[in-house]
Amino acid sequence: MGRIDREAIFKRDGYVCQLCGMLVAMDRKAPHRLSPVVDHIKPRIKGGTDDPDNLQTAHWACNSSKSHRPEMGSGFDPLAETDGLSITLSACADPAPPEWPTDSDLPPVSPHRVGEIHDRVRELSEACLLRVIPTDEELLRWLKERKFEDEIDARDALNDMLEDFLIDHDDEANAELAAILMRELPEAWFLSCRRGSCGGPESLRDVSGWTELATNINELYDLWDIVDRVTDAAFSSEG
């Protein structure tokens, strides 16, 4: 087995994950989900070699998911079945070269900024949602009023309540995030390539397109950190 020239593989593939089609984050290292790794198309355990033709660029998360389900191979959406992802760039449908799109006002995205942009959007999404979600004190009072005896039942009920609450109150958070992205972080356009998201960069020509993207981003926010924190506080105070 020869030495693998990782940078050559990444450059050859345009810094695009060959398992999901999204740019890898050259500014992040494992175990960051979007950090770049070299993936063996035919695994070594099955006789695969380190020949460049058997190597491809992949996200750390995509490669890890493939190792658990190797039969899925290329094109498998490795993060679709997992939870708590917040924002996952590794679930897009089509490749998005760093210089694309060139025929619009959207700025190019360097793979050396993908991780930075991903993490910033995640922070913005959380901040926008926390401004509309009830405070921990309000949620704690809600739990205590219902006098749950089983902690698991309490967690499930609180999570369901928060999900229902966001269905009725997330318009404000979505509009706020869309405005911030348009004004401060238009490089986030590449998030629109995520499978199941809005219609790609072509849809980001007006506010409605950005609002749809923001809605998809906010829907990936994981409520369980809040649920666990409040439920733990409720039951520890009773102990």
Q: Which residue has the higher pLDDT, 135 or 88?
A: 135
What is the mean predicted confidence (pLDDT) over 72-95? 38
pLDDT value for 222: 87
CA distance 64 to 185: 29
Residue-wise burial string across 40-79, b where 16 or more C-beta atoms lie within 10 A, e elsewhere = bbeeeeeeeeeeeeebbbbbbbbbbbbeeeeeeeeebbbb
The span from the CA of 124 to the CA of 44, in Å, is: 41
Which sequence spans correspond to the domains of the chain? 6-68, 114-238
Q: CA-to-CA distance for 61 and 30, rounded, in angstroms?
A: 9
User: What is the tens place of the pLDDT at every residue in 9-20?
Assistant: 999 999 988 888
- The answer, yes or no, to whether residue 200 has pLDDT greater than 80, is no
106 — phi, psi (to 5°)? -70, 135
Q: How many helices (H) and strands (E) does the chain have?
A: 7, 2
100-156 pLDDT tens trace: 444 567 888 999 999 999 999 999 999 999 999 999 999 999 999 999 999 999 999
pTM metric for this prediction: 0.77
